Structure 1
Amino acid sequence: MGAKGFAVDLNKPLVFQVGHLGDAYEEWVHQPIISNKGPRFFESDVLELFTKTVWWVIPTVWLPVAAYFVSMSARAGLSGYDLASLVGLGLLLWTFMEYTLHRFLFHMRTQSYWANTAHYLLHGCHHKHPMDSLRLVFPPVATAILSIPVYNLVKLISTPTTTPALFGGVLMGYVIYDCTHYYLHHGQPAKGMTQKLKKYHLNHHYRMQNKGFGITSSLWDVVFGTRPSSLVAEKKR
């Protein structure tokens, strides 16, 4: 039951319903429904189609784009060492962006109709239906739009020659992130780093949604004090 008696009907398209929950949206969206079958978002079949993306589209679309940007810096005369260093720096920059976007944008609290609706489309749907495999990675159109301000940000901290390679590294980091995120939900790692990452991420979903914002790394959770305390204690034992 939501604000003023409103209840979401899971048998109808959800996107234009969730805004009516008002300040009850935060609690509702963090009560996950564990099912491989995702909900319908829109009445329109065309709009519905654009909300679904299979995971392999991400590397297929964005790795060639990342390689193109790196090649731009190579054609500008940068050495192989410089290119590798810039790509590595871009990967590190992505992990910071991954953390800050997840913590401050994807988990911002909303209560107005349109803010709830936007949040649900951006990230809330993933917490409500965490096993929906077709809405786990970002649609390429949405990524392309978001990449514009990211590219402009990279330009501010680099030179015309180094910007493409640095941005290419950021794009590679994004591809690793989205593919890793998909695997953590649908893969079955038996041991090693991927098993630890899966446990870390599922802890964020089902136990401590205000902790553990890193997906590919817990580095920035450690730096900013958002690593779940129970995992810290477990590691010390």
Structure 2
Amino acid sequence: MTQDTRTEALDASPRIFENDLLDRFSRVHHLTPVIIYTPIILGLLFYSLSLQGAGLVLLGLVIGYVAWTLTEYFGHRYLFHTVFPLPFGFGPRFQFLIHGVHHIYPSDPLRLVMPPLLSAPIMLIALTIIRLIFGATFAWPVFAGFMAGYVAYDCVHYWTHHGQPTSDLGKLVKRLHMLHHFRDAEKGFGVHAIWWDYVFGTAYQKGETPGTKAV
């Protein structure tokens, strides 16, 4: 495969659904999460401040953000990279639709952030769990922090594929994600929350090759 052919393949936005409407909704502009969720986050913050003090709201934001980073890590590690034994052999297809297609076409600019059809159910499930754990009042700032973490994740994910970092931290985040795509997909599950890979032992080590451990 020539470099030009590989570039064309990486930039392509393939059709993954036979249904025209589903296929259309599988593609999304990278600013969609910002446009949809930022007003909700701000609304939740103002509402939370009307119910409790700024200190509690800030604490809720931090808890929610940390909860998202763990969701990002474990979701990427186990949900996106595990083929589930679903009925009728749908497991591989399910894994392909939610993440596999991204590894085949990693630079597809229209499938680098979650479409609302996927992110909205995740947010509703998260809200339900958060309300059960923290109660009706404190749940709102926690949920705002969780949602803010998600928006940060999607923005950073798009940027790692199409941005040109200038800071050392930015270069590190981009490099780690590129290693996940092009070196070893069984490591580097934190997209913007890169610290969890070091905590849970899935960080890249110098001199390590896929399938081996550093010595």
Q: Cα distance, 1:33 vs. partner?
A: 8.3
User: Within 2, Cα distance between the matches of 1:208 and 1:172?
Assistant: 29
In structure 1, the partner of 2:4 is none
The 1:132–1:166 alpha-carbon spacing in structure 2 relative to 1, beyond 3 Å, is same
Aligned equivalent of 1:189 = 165
- Contact 1:83/1:165, CA 8 A, preserved across alignment: yes
- Structure 1 position 152, deviation (Å): 1.6
Report the CA distance shift for 1:231/1:97 in structure 2 as closer, same or farther (over 3 A): farther
Residue type of the partner of 1:84? L
Q: Which residue of 2 aligns with 1:171?
A: 147
- CA distance in 1 between counterparts of 2:135 and 2:84 reads 38
Between the aligned partners of 1:71 and 1:88, the Cα distance in structure 2 is 16
Residues 183-231 of structure 1 deviation map (CA, whole Å, 9 limit, x = unaligned):
0001111332111100000001111110110011222111111111228
Distance 2:18 2:91 in 1: 20
* Aligned-pair CA distance for 1:111: 6.7
C-alpha distance in 1 between matches for 2:180 and 2:42: 33
Q: Report SS of the residue matched to 1:43.
A: coil
Which residue is equivalent to 2:80? 106
| Higher alpha-carbon deviation: 140-149 or 67-76 | 67-76
Q: Are 1:215 and 2:195 matched, yes or no?
A: no
Q: For 2:90 and 2:44, how far apart are their aligned partners in 1?
A: 36
Change over 3 Å in CA distance of 1:159–1:209 after alignment to 2? same
What count of residue pairs does the alignment treat as equivalent?
Answer: 200
1:18 is matched with none
Instruction: Between 149-158 and 209-218, report the one with greater CA deviation.
Output: 149-158
Aligned-residue Cα RMSD (Å) equals 2.0
The 3 A distance-change label for structure 1 pair 164 and 153 is same
Q: TM-score, with normalisation over the residues of structure 2? A: 0.86
Taking the TM superposition and a 5 Å limit, the aligned residue runs for 1:5-84 are 34-76=9-51, 78-84=52-58
Instruction: Tell me the residue number matched to 1:180.
Output: 156
Q: CA deviation at 1:47?
A: 1.9
Structure 1 counterpart of 2:213: none
Q: Is the 8 A contact 1:33 1:130 kept in 2?
A: no
Q: Which amino acid aligns with 2:90?
A: W
- Shifted more, 174-183 versus 138-147: the winner is 138-147
Gaps of 5+ in 1: 1-31, 233-237
- Cα shift at 1:75: 2.1
Separation of aligned partners in 2, 1:111 and 1:91: 31
* Secondary structure class of the residue paired with 1:226: coil
Q: Distance in 1 between matches of 2:47 and 2:36?
A: 18
Unaligned runs of 5+ in 2: 1-6, 209-215
Of 122, 127, 130 in structure 1, the residue corresponding to residue 98 of structure 2 is: 122
Contact kept in structure 2, 1:33 and 1:128, CA below 8 Å: no
SS of the residue corresponding to residue 177 of structure 2 reads helix
Instruction: Please tell me whether the aligned partners of residues 38 and 129 of structure 1 are also in contact (alpha carbons under 8 angstroms).
Output: yes
Contact 1:91 1:172 in 2 (8 A): yes
The one-letter amino acid paired with 1:61 is I
Q: Contact 2:9/2:105 (CA < 8 Å) preserved in 1?
A: yes
For residues 90 and 46 of structure 1, what CA distance do their matches in structure 2 show?
Answer: 33
- For the residues of structure 1 that align with 2:207 and 2:37, how far apart are their CA atoms? 34
Runs of at least 4 residues off by over 6 Å: none
